[in-house]
Structure 1
Amino acid sequence: MRNQWLYFYWGIVTIKVTGNGLERFINRLTTNGILIWDVKKHGYEMVTFKMSLKDIKKLKQVVKNSGCKVTFLKRTGLPFLIRRLFKNSGFMAGVLIFFMCLFILSNMIWGIEIKGADPATEHKIRKELDAIGVKKGKLQFFVEEPEGIQRAVMNAIEEVTWVGVELLGTTYHLQVVEKNVPEEPEKLGPQNLVATKKAVIVDMFVEEGQPKVDVHDYVKPGQLLVSGQIGKEGKTKSVSAKGEILGETWYKSEVVLPLESNLQVFNGNEIRKYSLRIADFPIPIWGFKDHNFKTFEKETKEDKFKFLKWELPIVYVQDTYRESEQVKKLYKNDEAIEVAKEMARADIKNELPEDAIIKGENVLRQTIQNGKVYLIMHFQVNENIAKSYPIIQGESE
């Protein structure tokens, strides 16, 4: 029978009819527009069939003066299922509450494990986690993603070089790498120290080896600074030359800055929408108002629901729409020159090692034409210019 599933929602009744004139009774059902199926004859005076619950009133009219007796054998379908659920509402409510509690408990934070940190650092990390809401008993989808927790901990705790955050089940696992971890000294063979770039020597700290240059000497790339050959002539030995040779080096940075530029900035207006996504079907639960932003950026945060150790195909989604707008930035001439200088300094700092120090700066060229600032700056930098170079057997200095 086609579309029998529709009758499940309306309700299905299994009927037994007994008596004489069963064929006439069946014909009267058809005449009155009553649809029946699964008709089965049991002897000469009994037949069973199924029909829709919505046609029961029509059935009563057919039964009158038919000489047949009707008995209801079975009731199936959604209306009867709902009726049975209401009869057992106490039991069903208990089952529902049990599964809701189990579901909520499966999505709570029940443990925070920290490995690789000493007690003092671990205490600081736990205080920071508590401050950002990562604590036992809190629902996971109200907590930052592991990447956000990682950034917060690394920015707040100076003693931490790196931290890995992973959520396994209901427990957050943090693997910490602290700063100042002692490293095993590298075993080096015989080597010299040579210059890496043009410079004027400003200071020398030689731990081992024979210096070949003095302060105020001008050196070129590849020039020998500290020899790994020590001792008097005829009684020399090769060592690993160690030390720092600080030299004054020179850098040049060129910057072009428009006096007028367009910047894309957020103006503070935002709209948040919350929904549940079951499989690929979204169900809005809060924030139904559509935004009318002309330009905006969308940020989406997703948290999967869990039941015990299994991930459910249900996702809690938070969409944030932030309005942005173009702001025209117009620099005055002197203001633009200062901004260009800061850009030049930032460019140089990106090229230099961390321990390098900028000792001086000079503007070589500064012009404003065609709505742009053209700036060339010269920098004097003190940095370690020494580089180790292995001594090859038989090689002379």
Structure 2
Amino acid sequence: MNRLTRTLVGIRIKGDQSEKFFELCRRHQVKLFKLKEIANNDYIMYIALEDLKSVRKIRYKTKLKLTFIDKKGFHFFKNSLIKKSSLVVVCVLAFLFFLYLTQAIWLIEIESDQDQLNYHIKQHLKDHGIKEGVLSWWIDSPSTVQSRLLDAFPEILWVGIKQSGITYQLEVIPKQIEKEIEDDKPFNLYAQKDGVIKRAHVRKGRLVVGQHEYVKKGQLLVTGQLNPNAEENDEENEDEVENEKLTWVEVDAEIIAETWYRSTVEVPLSVKQDLETGRVYQKHNVKMYNINIPLWGLNNDPFDDYHIEKKETRWRLGPIKLPVVFSSSRYKETIQHDEERSVEEAVEIGVRQARESLKHQIDPSSSILNEKILHQQVDDGKVKLHIYFTVEEDIVNKVNDRQGD
């Protein structure tokens, strides 16, 4: 009999025929629990509820005095709940309401000095289910929300997310727009890498290189010195030049040049991939201290191959962290797929990987003009590529410097 559902009745027997009583119980297969003699021919014990009828018949045969002293078990507990059902329902509803009040988000705070940005962020959160009154169990993790906000709002430099009790806090740091450079701080623009000048947009300053000219890293491109003859004076006029007050202005220009990059990639011809089949098995449980209580899903290995997405939420009572953690696990079935690639497919994948890697190295405003495979080699089940990229990008490097001042 299951110990959790077993129902026992405590009885006390008193009389001279107690040994006969025990013998008859054995014959009728009546189990006795916690048998204890408290005096001569005076015993207390527990019997199963279903054996009560048999014990009463045995008692008539032995003329013993039988007294009921206790009752415990699921049957009596259930009857007690039924008698007090209205009170139980009220208690359960009160607990659920209290749990909802303490586990839901009731305040969303966004720390930023831009009210318009705060409004749009709050609308974005609302569109993705993060709003007042929603349970914190069902919202995405802070890292997921952070990544989504950074993708949706390019003007955000960093966002920190913290959930404290019923408050959902966001600290937003927007990207700072560069302030206009003060007039007393002129600039020179230098090349930050080798390249061939394609076009120049000089708004302030004087261009010192020409179109289609090859420049090296560190070479002066645009100067804020508006006296072009200052560098051309010979030694005879050197004293005169030193005494002359040169005119410097703030420099503002964009120099677009053709630059070059090399990349080496290796692509295997045979790969093993884990593909999702679409079958999902969910498990929910509550962990209290070191006790794990399953709520839904009892199968520990629902599939032969799978990967798990797990989310844990610690329950709170206001600012107090309770020792209760609600855990939700999604088991996604996968199958292993062996993919064989041709050399042409491997080359295409390698070029694509190299191009994507290069995009992370250059400025988003830059563009990749073309690529050329310099060398291709198949060795040990891999295709090795040496790729040459041509890029069009702004190569200026601002330096707060006035050479010759």
State whether TM-score is above 0.5. yes
Name the SS for the 2:303 alignment partner: coil
Name the SS for the 1:128 alignment partner: helix
- Aligned-residue Cα RMSD (Å) equals 4.1
Q: Equivalences for 1:114-193 in 2 at 5 Å?
A: 114-116=110-112, 121-157=117-153, 160-178=156-174, 182-187=177-182, 189-193=185-189
Contact 1:274–1:319 (CA under 8 A) maintained in structure 2 = yes
Question: In structure 2, what is the equivalent of residue 24 of structure 1?
Answer: none
User: Could you say if the C-alpha distance between residues 97 and 264 of structure 1 is closer, same or farther in structure 2, counting changes exceeding 3 Å?
Assistant: closer
Pair 1:105 & 2:101 matched: yes
Q: Equivalences for 1:270-281 in 2 at 5 Å?
A: 270-281=280-291
Contact 2:281–2:302 (CA under 8 A) maintained in structure 1 = no
Question: In structure 2, what is the equivalent of residue 302 of structure 1?
Answer: 312
Pair 1:197 & 2:193 matched: yes
Paired with 1:195 and 1:391, the residues of 2 have a C-alpha distance of 14
User: Could you say if the C-alpha distance between residues 287 and 380 of structure 1 is closer, same or farther in structure 2, counting changes exceeding 3 Å?
Assistant: same
- 1:266-294 residue CA offsets vs partner (Å, 9 max, x unmatched): 33333211111111211101111332534
Paired residue type of 1:30: A
Contact 1:102–1:307 (CA under 8 A) maintained in structure 2 = no
Pair 1:212 & 2:219 matched: no
Pair 1:313 & 2:319 matched: no
Paired residue type of 2:260: W
Question: In structure 2, what is the equivalent of residue 243 of structure 1?
Answer: 253
The partner residue of 2:300 within 286, 290, 306 is 290
1:362 CA displacement: 2.5
1:250 CA displacement: 1.7
- 1:155-201 residue CA offsets vs partner (Å, 9 max, x unmatched): 4456655443322222323334456x544335573443222222222
User: Could you say if the C-alpha distance between residues 302 and 220 of structure 1 is closer, same or farther in structure 2, counting changes exceeding 3 Å?
Assistant: same
Q: Equivalences for 1:1-397 in 2 at 5 Å?
A: 29-32=38-41, 94=90, 97-116=93-112, 121-157=117-153, 160-178=156-174, 182-187=177-182, 189-231=185-227, 232-233=229-230, 234=241, 235=244, 236-368=246-378, 370-391=380-401
Contact 2:256–2:395 (CA under 8 A) maintained in structure 1 = yes
TM-score by length of 1: 0.70
Paired with 1:130 and 1:241, the residues of 2 have a C-alpha distance of 45
1:119 CA displacement: 6.1
Paired with 2:153 and 2:362, the residues of 1 have a C-alpha distance of 26
User: Could you say if the C-alpha distance between residues 333 and 29 of structure 1 is closer, same or farther in structure 2, counting changes exceeding 3 Å?
Assistant: closer
Paired with 2:398 and 2:174, the residues of 1 have a C-alpha distance of 29
Paired residue type of 2:40: T
Paired residue type of 2:363: P
Paired residue type of 2:105: I
Name the SS for the 2:39 alignment partner: helix
Paired residue type of 2:188: N
Question: In structure 1, what is the equivalent of residue 61 of structure 2?
Answer: none
Contact 1:124–1:157 (CA under 8 A) maintained in structure 2 = no
- 1:178-226 residue CA offsets vs partner (Å, 9 max, x unmatched): 56x5443355734432222222221122333333221122222222222
Paired with 1:100 and 1:53, the residues of 2 have a C-alpha distance of 40
Query: How many residue pairs were aligned?
Result: 342
1:127 CA displacement: 4.0
Paired residue type of 2:179: E
Paired with 2:269 and 2:38, the residues of 1 have a C-alpha distance of 90
Name the SS for the 2:277 alignment partner: strand
Paired with 1:342 and 1:157, the residues of 2 have a C-alpha distance of 27
Contact 1:304–1:316 (CA under 8 A) maintained in structure 2 = yes
Contact 1:303–1:317 (CA under 8 A) maintained in structure 2 = yes
Paired residue type of 1:327: H
Paired with 2:314 and 2:373, the residues of 1 have a C-alpha distance of 57
Q: Give the percent of matched residue pairs that are identical in Structure 1 and Structure 2.
A: 30
1:335 CA displacement: 2.3
Paired with 1:90 and 1:331, the residues of 2 have a C-alpha distance of 68
Contact 1:261–1:329 (CA under 8 A) maintained in structure 2 = yes
1:76 CA displacement: 11
